[in-house]
Structure 1
Amino acid sequence: KLVIVESPAKARTLGRYLGRGYKVLSSMGHVRDLPETRLGVDIENGFKPHFVIKDRRLVRKLREEAEKARVIYLATDNDREGEAIAYDLFEVLNHRDEGRFKRIVFNEITKRVILKAIAEPTGLDLARVEAQRARRILDRLVGYLISPLLSKSLSGSIYEGLSAGRVQSVALRLIVDREREIQEFKSEEYWTVEAELQDGKNKKRFQAELAKLKGKKPRLSTREEVERLLEALREEEFTVTKVEEEEQSRTPPPPFITSTLQQAASSQLRLSPKRTMELAQQLYEGVELDEGREGLITYMRTDSTRVSAEAQAELREFIKAEFGKQYLSPKVRSYRTKAKKAQEAHEAIRPTSVKRTPAAVKPFLTRDQYRLYKLIWERFVATQMAEARYLRRKVEVSAKDCLFSASGSIIEFEGFLKVLKLKPLKDEGLELPPLEEGERLELVEFLPEQHFTEPPARYTEAGLVKALEEKGIGRPSTYATIVSTIEERGYVRKAGRVLQPTLLGFVAIDFLKRYFPLAVEEGFT
């Protein structure tokens, strides 16, 4: 029995699980593609593509092994690209005897899941194949027909690497448009006012912010306005008009999908989207542990937050045993997938076994593999843990026609925060003195502060990935390459952690907007 996967690392892991009677080979990615030296699309004949074999020696070897095999399992990735590779293998490996070919799909590389996939083969999903073909043909048309014009028009063919792309051009437009917003932004002055107050009993001080002026949100534009207001308030009485105490809860975020993993790895680990996906691929395809080679995480190109019932059950048992029943969410928590076109056959990105804690696998991982695995493990574990509970006290203080407010939140039960550290609440840790309605307070001082409105922030790599996902531009499999391509082409540069368009990026987008507007429309992707 012959099993064909895309990569040698994946082949090694599956080979170990399947043992004798199976031969596992790698296709080294796509076996067919459009030709490198010509368009390869017949525009006059329904955009018919002409595919060529990439590595004839490799295909010859695969054909020889296929001739000897009773059954051929096409075990490529469970997405559009993987389906297209499986279809191409079916086509090039003498598919006349169709009954020998079986398609198997899986979202994690563990022995249990692989043996289950072998036992329950499916057929090729031709709709997925056609979707991949359409994208590939559009990519080629934009790349081959527009890129040479762009290159010649902008640089007289000095820069051979100049290119336009179906998705990269739209991503570049987002960055250029944002930069123009920043350039055109006019900053405006505004002021905020806080009052430092003291209660009469305990002589405890706290700060309250001016929330309303004459029943409306305060708009203080100049120092003079602020000084007039404060002068009028200095002799007024400050009276507590409202005291509220309430319990608030905080729910853990959903498990990672591709875009949120790239965003978290960028902001917390300082890893680029491209590097994040390289590391995730390694963790997915398998790492050598004491018990042998094991896949540590599920498939990393996904936009679904779904988690299998088996994985949820294992996680809930783990939480109960490791942290105690009080840390377990009373009900199984599930999350709705936000992406409109999510492939729900996939799962979220999670550990293949929650029992493999970061500490247990650390000796077998590189530093960056460990950091990324820990990020994924902690996020997943938190999803079935109890909510964090806070006691929040809110106070409103009146003086003449001004309303000041203050709040403070204290953690009563950490819940999932025991595992997953999130940014604290704005008022977390602030403790207000016990106050009563009608109580008069002493004014200690006013704390006016000058501010200026800020332009919209430039995109970071993580921010750009988030924008691409929200606008439906590209797919989980392409986010990382979009970002790296526009950087490598010289259209944008990294200034610290933010992306700034270069002059070349500005000119390229202006050219495309003028002559090929469809190529930079969000809907075109």
Structure 2
Amino acid sequence: MKKKLVLVESPTKISTIQKILKTLGREDFTVIGTAGHICNLEDNKMGVALKNDVFDATFKPMASKKKIIENIKKQMKYCDEIYICTDDDREGERIAEDLVVFCKIKEYFRITFTEITKSSIKKALIDKVGVRLIDQKTVKAQWTRRVIDRVIGYGLSFPLSKYFKDNNKLTYKEKDGTIKSFEPKGTGRILALALYIICKRQKDIIAYNDSGAVVTDIVIANYNYDGIGFMARGNKLEYKKEYENKRNEVIKKASFKIHRVYSRSIDIVPESPPNALTTLNLYTAVSYLYKLGSKQTEVIMKNLFETGYINYPRTDSLNLSTVAREVIIKYLLATLEDEEKKDVLMTPRVYKEKKGNAQNAHEAIRPSIFSDDETPIEEIISRHPDNIREEWAKNPQCKKFGNHHHLIYSLIWARAICTQLRSSEYDVSKITVKAGDYTFDAKSNNRLYDGWEKYEGNLVLNSTRGIGEEDFKRKRVVIPPTLAINTIIEDVDITFYESNSKSPKRISEGALINTLSGLNVARPSTLHTFASALESKGYIEILQTMLIPTDLGMEVNTVVESELEWLVDEKRAKNFEKTMEQIELGKIEDNHSIILEYWNLVNDFRRNVGYELLE
């Protein structure tokens, strides 16, 4: 009997997939992991050539992958069907294409897993649901991006070192008295921008420390009406310390004025729960909440995915699948108390996605137990964060799972569950009080209906606010509901509080991810990789997720700002990612002119420093 060959990216998926196939009564599958890409551009060479405005890139099998390729070719002789199950993204599509080319695969089934569960494996490998061909447009986008990154990275590396030597940048003395320069380890398209953001913040901190803090006194009114106290801030009543007399005069005068409600707006607003986690959301939240770096987080996410406890963790999508939403609602209705069931949505909530994002086809990150509407409630309960440790204790593949695995899994669970609970409601009414020529403003912040916030609300809120040192707590402000326009408030205390300017905070890994995401310069699901890349080059140090530029990093940034300003041009970086998406969607066909633009920019710098041009 002929076997079936399954090719996946990660070797650690193999045992999970084979175990599931065995439970399905199928032991005729052989599973091989490629351990990522099998091919790359040549080492120590540009590997990219230009002829008649057309680029050619020399990709070859990596030495470390030759045995894997040989094993695949060997197993192909005993198989009548080949399933290429690399990840459903640009890199996965490129790996699939390289497998076809370098393993000489003539016929194949291209299938992707969004999770490694019994139902998903059955649909993909047994029922062949979702079978397709390799998407050549996605392969083209990955090829273009990889070639441009090689042109920039390799093309600038040696000339940048030459620039440092020629200009005596960051020199140091050897034991024999020889003066040498520190050598930079190149730069990159997004790396340069990330380093610029970190160094700019360092400059802001230095400037603040040189100038010192600014102290401002803000005049406020403490009101009490119907037994409810609230504070209103004086409108344009802020004074620096040198104007202390003016401040005191205002306090004295305002204290003797009649305080009458001038205006009041009643505003009750719903607050929806945040979306289930995207890759960007998760790395940012974990950085702030648990002080975990991107490398640690990536390992944990990989562990949880490859052992079948969460779905595919590389996604930009805000939404869960239709089935997942329905399973969550069914679970909530089965497990909540009767009086709490009113908090569950009867119509599933769907979030508005960003248009034109090719990776929205993936679901948001969630526990994989929400995959099948026939899953017994007892089985779902066994995967609840309160019970999951018992499950892991029984699974040999989870021996190394620790507290951080549990914290991240709990966060994923909470964010997914809350999406199908009713919105909370807040009174955010505003009130203005007039006292002669002075006005005081206050805004209510009073939760009237708990909704989703009753269930893991603090954890979910903290994960969206990016609070690291302490839990995020909303300060509750209640404005008396009986306080109407023209009402005179008699219980008044006019005073002030000091507001000290704060030093700019250092950029954390989470803050860098958020900043780059806000600039929209790269696919959100890739942004967590840049801090560790800068650290490996010696441009920054990472201390408890805080990113501190080294002297070398500061100097490299200075050179880039002055000589390679296009690398830190935010508009150019945004347009680059949009261009890659357009190639992936098939809306741009001529990718060579895009590569040529960067080729010429790199040559401009090489020419300026007296280095041979790329040919």
TM-score (norm 1): 0.89
Q: Deviations along 1:94-118, whole A, 9 cap, x unmatched? A: 23xx2x3111112111121122223
Is 1:5 paired with 2:8? yes
Q: Map 1:48-447; keep pairs closer than 5 Å.
A: 48-54=56-62, 55-95=65-105, 98=106, 100-118=107-125, 119-120=128-129, 121-154=131-164, 159=182, 162-184=185-207, 189-199=215-225, 204=227, 206-212=229-235, 217-221=236-240, 222-242=243-263, 246-286=267-307, 295-323=308-336, 324-338=340-354, 341-354=357-370, 355=380, 356-363=383-390, 364=392, 365-391=401-427, 394-419=430-455, 420-421=457-458, 422=461, 426-428=474-476, 430=478, 432=480, 434-447=482-495
Residue identity over aligned pairs, in percent, reads 29
Q: Map 1:34-53; keep pairs closer than 5 Å.
A: 34-44=41-51, 46-53=54-61
Could you tell me which runs of 5 or more consecutive residues in structure 1 were left unpaired when the two chains were aligned: 287-294
Query: Alpha-carbon deviation of 1:7?
Result: 1.2
Q: Is the 8 A contact 1:210 1:405 kept in 2?
A: yes
Give the structure with the higher percent helix: 2
Q: 1:30 — aligned with what?
A: 37
For residues 560 and 430 of structure 2, what CA distance do their matches in structure 1 show? 53
Distance of aligned partners of 1:519 and 1:371 in 2 relative to their CA distance in 1, 3 Å threshold = same
Number of equivalenced pairs: 507
Q: CA RMSD in A?
A: 2.6
For residues 267 and 525 of structure 2, what CA distance do their matches in structure 1 show? 44
Q: 1:292 — aligned with what?
A: none
Q: Is the 8 A contact 2:251 2:495 kept in 1?
A: no
Query: Alpha-carbon deviation of 1:454?
Result: 4.4
For residues 154 and 249 of structure 2, what CA distance do their matches in structure 1 show? 66
SS in 2 for 1:347: coil
SS in 1 for 2:219: strand
Query: Alpha-carbon deviation of 1:126?
Result: 0.8
Distance of aligned partners of 1:311 and 1:414 in 2 relative to their CA distance in 1, 3 Å threshold = same
Q: Is the 8 A contact 1:330 1:386 kept in 2?
A: no
For residues 330 and 404 of structure 1, what CA distance do their matches in structure 2 show? 43
TM-score (norm 2): 0.76
Q: Which amino acid aligns with 2:289?
A: Q
Q: Is the 8 A contact 1:320 1:327 kept in 2?
A: no
Could you tell me which runs of 5 or more consecutive residues in structure 2 were left unpaired when the two chains were aligned: 166-170, 172-179, 371-379, 393-400, 463-471, 577-615
For residues 268 and 427 of structure 1, what CA distance do their matches in structure 2 show? 20
Query: Alpha-carbon deviation of 1:317?
Result: 1.0
For residues 181 and 464 of structure 1, what CA distance do their matches in structure 2 show? 16
Larger CA deviation: 47-56 vs 181-190: 181-190
Q: Which amino acid aligns with 1:313?
A: E
For residues 430 and 192 of structure 2, what CA distance do their matches in structure 1 show? 49
Q: Deviations along 1:191-244, whole A, 9 cap, x unmatched? A: 321122344xx5x362422343xxxx4454432331221122232122344556
SS in 2 for 1:65: helix
For residues 12 and 502 of structure 1, what CA distance do their matches in structure 2 show? 43
Distance of aligned partners of 1:429 and 1:224 in 2 relative to their CA distance in 1, 3 Å threshold = closer
Query: Alpha-carbon deviation of 1:515?
Result: 3.0
Q: 2:541 — aligned with what?
A: 493
